[in-house]
């Protein structure tokens, strides 16, 4: 690759990030992200992904695509996307920070998962697929899906796109509650999506 091509590519990436920051601020103006805004954002990301290898564009596109794969931006996904766009508009470098971080309260060591008859709750955005697809894969292995964290929950699965700022995100409340129960003796296992997929031979 010659210097001119490298210079042009950097210029394109810089302009893309500037535009993305502007888009993010526009979406954030009313404090919410609705379905139409998420779909518009994904359309812009798809168009710009074709002209760039910018990791910020690639990463955000993966996240938004996962959220919209089932055609519906639910409340938790909307609030999670709102948090991501706040990071983009404030510090574009933060969007590159993915899930696997030492600050997540994962069980150490991670135990082998026993799916049959166990209860599961997913939180955050998953790389495996939509929430529905994760639920179906779990149920096919004999597990049961629950809607809330309780003392009887067996496994809390953290989606791959849970970031190290989890405590400030909407889904952080579920994690905090699970940690509290676990610390008080409840047999709750907090694990990564990757470990869930490997244990179920889904990876």
pLDDT tens column, 107-121: 988 899 999 999 999
Among 124, 126, 151, smallest CA distance to 137 is for 126
Share of the chain above pLDDT 70, in %: 77
pLDDT at position 91: 46
Q: What sign does the CA torsion over 89, 93, 99, 101 have?
A: negative
Closest Cα to residue 146, out of 181, 182, 117, 187?
117
Q: What is the pTM of this model?
A: 0.56
Which of 51-65, 90-104, 133-147 shows the lowest per-residue confidence on average (mean pLDDT)?
Answer: 90-104
Which two structure tokens, joined as six digits, stand for 190?
A: 């907090």
Query: What H or E segment, with its residue span, contains residue 44?
Result: helix 35-49
Burial level of 107, CB count in 10 A (0-12/13-18/19+)?
A: middle
The residue ranking higher by pLDDT, 23 or 13, is 23
pLDDT at 9 over 80: no
| pLDDT per residue as tens digits for the range 157-180 | 988 766 554 554 555 678 889 999
Pick the more confident residue, 188 or 99: 188
The tens digit of pLDDT for each residue in 43-94 reads 988 888 765 666 777 778 888 888 898 888 988 888 888 888 887 776 434 4
The reported pLDDT for the residue numbered 93 is 41
Which two three-digit tokens encode residue 81?
A: 């996307």
């Amino acid at each position: 690759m010659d210097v001119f091509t490298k210079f042009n590519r950097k210029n394109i990436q810089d302009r893309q990030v500037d535009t993305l920051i502007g888009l993010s601020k526009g979406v954030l103006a009313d404090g919410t992200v609705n379905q139409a805004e998420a779909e518009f954002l994904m359309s812009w990301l798809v168009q710009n992904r074709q002209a760039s290898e910018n990791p910020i564009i690639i990463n955000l596109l993966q996240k938004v695509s996962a959220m919209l794969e089932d055609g519906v931006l639910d409340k938790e996904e909307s609030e999670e996307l709102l948090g991501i766009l706040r990071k983009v508009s404030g510090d574009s470098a933060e969007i590159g920070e993915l899930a696997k971080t030492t600050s997540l309260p994962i069980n150490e060591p991670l135990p082998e998962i026993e799916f049959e008859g166990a209860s599961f709750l997913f939180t955050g955005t998953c790389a495996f697929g939509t929430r529905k697809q994760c639920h179906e894969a779990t149920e096919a292995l004999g597990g049961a899906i629950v809607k809330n964290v309780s003392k009887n929950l067996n496994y809390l699965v953290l989606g791959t796109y849970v970031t190290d700022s989890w405590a400030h995100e909407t889904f952080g409340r579920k994690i905090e509650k699970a940690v509290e129960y676990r610390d008080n003796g409840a047999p709750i296992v907090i694990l990564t999506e990757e470990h869930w997929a490997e244990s179920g031979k889904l990876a």
